[in-house]
């Protein structure tokens, strides 16, 4: 099944990936696999169906617009079994572009939907007016819930919650919780050749000689080289390679080997 890799989030914005397909009048399915499992169907450059987990239609599309994590592929042979999006695509993309503009400002404070915030203990004691939409977010910001968790609990979009958090950070009510950066993001430097030897060895056990081809293609897609591959991209690289193993049992075998060989290094940062 032709499943072409087109990008990794958040290194690229989903909006830009979809926009190129829309402008190119492409037909097929955009597949996002990360924390969320989402699909977008296009016909001749028009968005005709959207699915985000168990939600479909334009409600799903609105949630998809906020996804900032995962591997994105495009399958040009698939067509939708149903059409759940009726709004003209040019209007959808215009709305999406507007949201992207908001994200530019929001990202200065809320860098990721995984970010966590907590109430400022000493906020000066000044009186502040807290709006109704802010109370729910304020109550849930306990330093252990992520922005996406709070959005799910409140039934609001990640963008909406992020904007509210930005407002309250500006008011001195919230601050970024300490130590909330993901272990992967904290990693500095590059991996050594041993990493690629291990990956290729384990991949050959489940796929045979084609392992080298998959390794080289994945490196090319990441636009990185074996002699200067950043540690912060290790988990994303492993996920991308793993996704290309069709048989579930073999994929599980590879994932387990990679976990015991490399993920503890990240978890202990």
Delimit the domains of the chain by residue range. Answer: 4-105, 108-181, 193-267
Class of domain 108-181: mainly alpha
Choose the weakest-confidence range: 42-51, 91-100, 243-252, 257-266.
257-266
Give the 3-state secondary structure of residue 262: coil
How far apart CA 15 and CA 67 sit, in angstroms, is: 10
pLDDT at residue 71 in the model: 85
Work out the percent of the chain whose per-residue pLDDT is above 70: 91
State both tokens at 202. 């384990």
pLDDT at residue 268 in the model: 44
Rg, the chain, Cα only: 21
112 pLDDT band, cuts 50/70/90, is confident
Mean per-residue pLDDT over the chain, rounded? 86
269 pLDDT band, cuts 50/70/90, is very low
Q: What is the DSSP letter of 245?
A: -
How far apart CA 76 and CA 214 sit, in angstroms, is: 20
pLDDT at residue 121 in the model: 80
Cross-strand partners of 105: none
């Amino acid at each position: 099944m032709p499943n072409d890799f087109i990008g990794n989030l958040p290194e690229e914005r989903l909006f830009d990936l979809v926009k190129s397909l829309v402008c190119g009048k492409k037909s097929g399915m955009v597949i996002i696999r990360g924390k969320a499992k989402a699909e977008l169907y296009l016909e001749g450059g028009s968005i005709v169906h959207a699915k985000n987990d168990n939600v479909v239609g334009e409600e799903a599309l609105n949630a998809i617009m906020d996804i900032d994590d995962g591997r994105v592929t495009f399958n040009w042979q698939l067509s939708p079994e149903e059409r759940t999006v009726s709004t003209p695509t040019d209007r959808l993309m215009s709305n999406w572009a507007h949201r992207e503009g908001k994200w530019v400002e929001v990202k200065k404070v809320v860098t990721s939907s995984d970010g966590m915030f907590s109430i400022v203990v000493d906020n000066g004691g000044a009186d502040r007016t807290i709006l109704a939409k802010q109370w729910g977010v304020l109550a849930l910001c306990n330093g252990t819930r992520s922005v996406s968790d709070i959005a799910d609990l409140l039934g609001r979009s990640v963008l909406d919650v992020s904007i509210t958090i930005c407002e309250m950070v500006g008011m001195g009510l919230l601050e970024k919780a300490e130590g909330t950066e993901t272990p992967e993001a904290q990693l500095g430097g590059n991996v050594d050749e041993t990493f690629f030897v291990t990956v290729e060895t384990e991949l050959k056990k489940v796929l045979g000689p084609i392992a080298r081809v998959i390794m080289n293609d994945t490196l090319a897609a990441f636009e990185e080289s074996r002699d200067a591959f950043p540690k912060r991209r290790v988990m994303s690289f492993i996920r991308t390679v793993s996704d290309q193993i069709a048989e579930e049992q073999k994929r599980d075998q590879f994932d387990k080997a990679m976990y015991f060989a490399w993920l503890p290094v990240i978890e202990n940062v």
